[in-house]
Structure 1
Amino acid sequence: MSTAKSASKKRKRDSISSDSLVLKLSTPTPGPVGPLLVSYPALQPPPSTAFQCYAKKKAKHEGNQTQKDEQINEQDMLVVGETEDVEFISNEAESRLVANSGCRYLVAIHNRRTGALSVLPTPKSPYILTRIVKTLKSIPASAAPTQQEYRAARTILGETFGTKKAKANIRAQERNRVDVTAMQGVMDHLQQGIDKGAAGLMTTEEAKEEVDKNRLIPPFDATAVEPEDIYPLHGIIPEVEWKALSVSAFDQVAHNREKMALLPFRWSQWLFKHISTKQAESDSPKRRKKILKIVLYVSTMLAFRRSTEHGKGVTRDELSEKLPGVPGVVLDGLLARFTETSRGSTRHILTSTMQTKLLTYIFALCLKADNFATDTHSIAIDLSKSPAEVNGLFKSLGCKITLLGERERTRLGLSDSAATTKMAVLNAPVEFPKPRLRRK
């Protein structure tokens, strides 16, 4: 009887101890941080390893110091522990990365004496620990390999495990590599040879003068401060040819069409504009005579271009028959400056290079007659060329293709309708376009 009672009592106690698990939510208490979660690396410390928590110091703020002391941010703490051989310390960057990824855990504490399971209300993220072997701390870190050592190791690796193609590339690179140390004794001799070879080379100023000399434009003065002085008149029209031109016949006729009939070349809007009576009356007698001579010479050059632009060429006698009213000295000058002759031939050919040179000389005279602001569209129509090609030749003279402002139009006597017309404007000092760099 007593045995049965004792057995029943024992079973009753066992059932109570196994079924009396109580789950409750604990309330946080100020001060201690409480239990923390850590994630060990591959090496785990013994269970008896002690860990300490260290909080970072922060700047003190007035009126908020008590609150800062009571509430410690767990992300700003370091978890540190050590054994006889290894040190464990939390990695702040990795721990923050895990915390920001949303990895949170609820920590529960089981009290074996009371059978209560207390769940902490605040979720926690684990601290990621890293290990440091104490014996390795005294060994200095090895220096990074130099580029030469890295190349040598890579070559050995390629020769040992590389394919046939990789080995062939390694041998080719070894053959093409220059040994700088072997050249140290001959560097002085090489430098002397370079200096001796460069003695005959042109300087920067001489090279610039040579480039300017080879430009297909009239002779110019790069230091001129006035547009009139950039291209001297007698650099375009020699003085002997200038004196041979006569414009007295233009004073004996009154109508513009009769004046146009006196020109060697008549089919040009630019010529008709400058031969008109209204244009001439606005200038002084000296200016009017100069403009007439320029117009006459431009007309002669246009007629000369039309007579020689075919590839067969022209002789001196044939040119005299085609341009009967032009003085012989003018014809000889045009043939000498703007044509080329082959050996043993008397036929003068206007090559593409000479045609470009002839057009730039014509455009330079047009600028002088137009007060250095020329309408390139009308000239393109007269020459049956595209405006882009004509603008390119004007740019080679140092002009800028732009719209004229109100002050410039008033100075040139142009109407408001010319506000939308682009002009080739020459300013001093002259600036030539820079060569374009090709894309790599």
Structure 2
Amino acid sequence: MSQAPKPKKSKRSNIHESTSKSNQISGSNQSNKSEVTVKLSGESNKGNYLGSALVKFPDVKPDIKTPFNLYAHKVDPKATKILAGETDQLEFESNRQSTADVNCNYLIGLHSIQDQTLTLFPTSFHELRPTVKQLKDAINLKKQEEKEDEEKEGHQTHKASRNMLGTTFGSKKARRAIQAAARDTIDPDSMMHVQSHLKEAITTSSITLTNSIQEANRIESEKPIPPYNINATSPKEVYKLSDVVTNLELNSIPIAHITYCSSPEQAIRNLPNSKSNFINKRIESCWNRYPEGKLNKQEEQRLRILVYISYLIKFHHHRFKIKKDKLKELLSGKRDGSESCPDSILDGLLERFTEKELGTQEFLMTTFSNRKLLSYICTLCLIHEEYTCAITELADDLKEDKKSLTEIFRSLGCKIDKLSSGELTVQMEEAKKLGKDTKEIDKQRLARLSVPLVFPEPRKKRQRN
């Protein structure tokens, strides 16, 4: 076999296509002595050829399923290719400098057993180093800040030079403008001595604001009215019945001895308080609608509300100091074999509207507790009357001044209106049937619960000189 002349040494070795015997490589099986033809792929002569790539990971090796993309220059085919890929935490990108410094060419061979050929494909070598994504964002942010600082410094230098030129060669008007701008400029370094004072003032103001908010929340929570929904979109959503009287108390109210009565007059006599015109009118109206006493669930609940209002009015008339057993006897009203007041009602009344005196068995109703009791009575009347209630009628039953009861309705978020023409006509006809004076009817006022809920502002106490 003849030998080919040796090529001269150079930094890069070139491999040329050859079909001579010198480039024929014997197979691994020496007994068979099969010959493999080596040839260079012609794909590299086509445009947009990328081929495969050899990669080195000197630091961190990614998962084998990590996808990579090989990028080549669109115009210059000799430009260095870039290999890039990423995972959730890392980014991999080949270094242009390290790839260009490689002093040899790489080829990948594809051996075809069927044709006994070894095709060599030119490939590129890439050294990939990882970059942490979070650190990359921090580095980019730092570079951006440095760039902004440089621009700011350059702007300040340019401004100082311009001011110097203006002061030296500018007109009087220009010099005055430069001096005014200099006076208006604040030097942060010159304000360092007031930093501690500013911090102290801010801290004091924050404490004062926090205390004011806490005080406002405390005053709001201590209002003598039932819990309410400030975001209500209808009057029905403002006050929940279960927040005024619990379901346990309401369902424990006995009504059988009232519904089984043969007449509304007999039913009125079995109420805890039979002298309330507000309640008596509603009982008579209920008997007119259901003369046999067979009420549906809705009417039963409305009747229980009236009985509970009767408990509250009787309790209001006998306030001040009282013992639990005396209160039970007072509210039971055992006429006509009526049932006694349930313990759940007694416990609820004493818990909401009284304070127990230390060392005694007596419960005391304070001025605040009495106002709270009146607020609960007014709220229940609003719920029963579909959120519109006559003030005069209720004030007479409670033996309270109309003006004070009007303030209570306002504190519940009600608006005080005159009677409409239709309401005035109905009131006039009822008064004529009962033989009452119709002169005072025009002076009556109605409390209407409206939304959005608006409460009157608290009155400020006048400071004495």
1:294 pairs with 2:305? yes
Q: Structure 1 residues 237 and 280, CA, compared in 2 at 3 Å: closer, same or farther?
A: farther
Q: State whether residues 274 and 280 of structure 1, in contact with CA within 8 Å, keep that contact through their aligned partners in structure 2.
A: no
Per-residue CA deviation, residues 240-276 of structure 1 (Å, 9 max, x unaligned), is 1112113222221132221111111111111111111
1:423 corresponds in structure 2 to 446
Residues 1:218 and 2:226 aligned together = yes
- Counterparts of 1:342-361 in structure 2, within 5 Å, are 342-361=357-376
Is residue 338 of structure 1 aligned with residue 353 of structure 2?
yes
> For structure 1, which runs of at least 5 residues remain unmatched after alignment?
1-183
- TM-score w.r.t. structure 2 length? 0.49
Q: Aligned Cα RMSD in Å?
A: 2.9
Question: How far apart are 1:421 and its partner, in Å?
Answer: 2.9
Q: Do residues 192 (structure 1) and 235 (structure 2) align?
A: no
What is the alpha-carbon distance in structure 2 between the residues aligned to residue 186 and residue 345 of structure 1? 64
Go from structure 1 to structure 2 and tell me whether the alpha carbon gap of 1:305 and 1:210 turns closer, same or farther (over 3 Å shift). same
**Residue 316 (structure 2) pairs with residue 305 (structure 1):** yes
Q: How does 1:91-106 map to 2 (within 5 A)?
A: none
> Aligned pair in 2 of structure 1 residues 194, 341: CA closer, same or farther (>3 Å)?
farther
Q: TM-score, normalised by structure 1?
A: 0.52
Matches of 1:369 and 1:237, distance apart in 2 = 13
Match of 1:383? 398
Cα deviation for residue 320 of structure 1 reads 2.0
Over the matched positions of the two proteins, sequence identity in percent amounts to 25
2:418 pairs with 1:403? yes
1:364 aligns with 2:387: no
Distance apart, 1:424 and its partner CA:
0.8
The match for 2:22 is: none
Match of 2:235 among 217, 221, 227: 227
Q: Give me the whole-angstrom Cα distance separating, in 2, the residues matched to 1:416 and 1:382.
A: 20
Tell me which residue corresponds to 1:259.
267
1:393 paired with 2:408, answer yes
Higher deviation after alignment, 327-336 or 344-353: 344-353
The 2-side partners of 1:376 and 1:404 are apart by: 11
- Indicate how the Cα distance of structure 1 residues 320 and 284 shifts in structure 2: closer, same or farther if over 3 A, else same: closer
Question: SS where residue 323 of structure 1 aligns?
Answer: helix
Q: Which residue of 2 aligns with 1:318?
A: 326
Q: Secondary structure at the match of 2:363?
A: coil
SS of the residue corresponding to residue 322 of structure 2 reads coil
What CA deviation, in whole Å up to 9, does each residue of 1:273-296 have, x standing for no partner?
111145762898333212211110
Contact 2:264/2:287, CA 8 A, preserved across alignment? no
Is the CA contact 2:391–2:444 (under 8 Å) kept in the aligned structure 1?
Answer: no
> Whole-Å Cα distance in 2 between the matches of residues 280 and 406 of structure 1?
26
Q: Take 1:430 and 1:254, find their aligned partners in 2: how far apart are those partners?
A: 43
SS at structure 1 position matched to 2:356: coil
Q: In structure 1, the residue corresponding to 2:210 is in which secondary structure?
A: coil
C-alpha separation between the residues in 1 aligned to 2:225 and 2:426? 28
Shifted more, 388-397 versus 355-364: the winner is 388-397
Q: Secondary structure at the match of 2:416?
A: strand
Report the Cα distance in structure 2 between the residues aligned to 1:284 and 1:228, rounded to whole angstroms.
23
Do the aligned partners of residues 426 and 343 (structure 1) sit closer, same or farther apart at CA in structure 2, a change above 3 Å counting? same
- Tell me the CA shift for residue 435 of structure 1: 2.8
Which consecutive residues of structure 2, in runs of 5 or more, have no partner in the other structure? 1-190, 333-339, 430-440
CA distance in 2, matches of 1:289, 1:280: 15
Contact kept? 1:373, 1:424, Cα under 8 Å:
yes
Any idea what SS the aligned residue of 2:327 has? helix
The equivalent residue for 2:457 is 434
Contact 1:405 1:419 in 2 (8 A): no
For residue 359 of structure 2, give the secondary structure of its aligned residue in structure 1.
coil
Q: How does 1:239-254 map to 2 (within 5 A)?
A: 239-254=247-262
Distance 1:206 1:388, change over 3 A: same
State the aligned residue count: 251
Q: Does 1:374 align with 2:389?
A: yes
For residues 279 and 422 of structure 1, the distance between their equivalents in structure 2, rounded to whole angstroms, comes to: 27
Distance 1:438 1:348, change over 3 A: closer
Distance 1:278 1:252 in 2: 13
* Deviation readout 1:348-374 (Å, 9 max, x if unpaired): 100111000000000000111112111
CA–CA distance in 2 between the matches of 1:215 and 1:280?
39
